[in-house]
Structure formats: C-alpha cells, structure tokens
Amino acid sequence: MTAPWDTYNITATKNSYRKYKTKVDLEEGEKKEIKAEMKKTKTR
C-alpha cells in the first residue's frame, strides 16, 4: 500500500549562498508555498 502523499526533495542553489535543502510532503492536488532562507557563504 502506498502513502496518500508524495515526498519531494527540494534543493536551491545560488552563487555565494549555501545550498538550501528541504523535504515537503504533498497530498495529491495540494499546493504549498515554500520560503527558502538562504545564508551567504563566508567570503575570504
């Protein structure tokens, strides 16, 4: 038996920022807004 939701792995990348990774569970037909708080990498 399968679960009634799907799990999505989301990865966001941007120059001079750390990678942002998150997992989201969405039921069929569901929409969800996701905010990514990305932190700057340390510059030398």
Kindly report the pTM of this predicted structure: 0.59
Counting the structural domains of the chain, the total is 1
Measured distance CA(36)–CA(44) in Å, rounded:
25
Q: Residue 3 is part of which domain span?
A: 1-27
| Residue 3 in domain | yes
Residue 2 pLDDT: 61
Condensed to tens digits (0 to 9), the pLDDT of residues 1-44 reads: 567 778 999 999 999 999 999 999 998 888 989 888 889 988 76
> Residue 25 in contact with residue 5, Cβ under 8 Å?
yes
Measured distance CA(4)–CA(28) in Å, rounded:
8
| Residue 40 in domain | no
| Residue 43 in domain | no
| Residue 42 in domain | no
Residue 10 pLDDT: 92
| Residue 2 in domain | yes
**DSSP summary character for residue 32:** -
Measured distance CA(34)–CA(23) in Å, rounded:
10
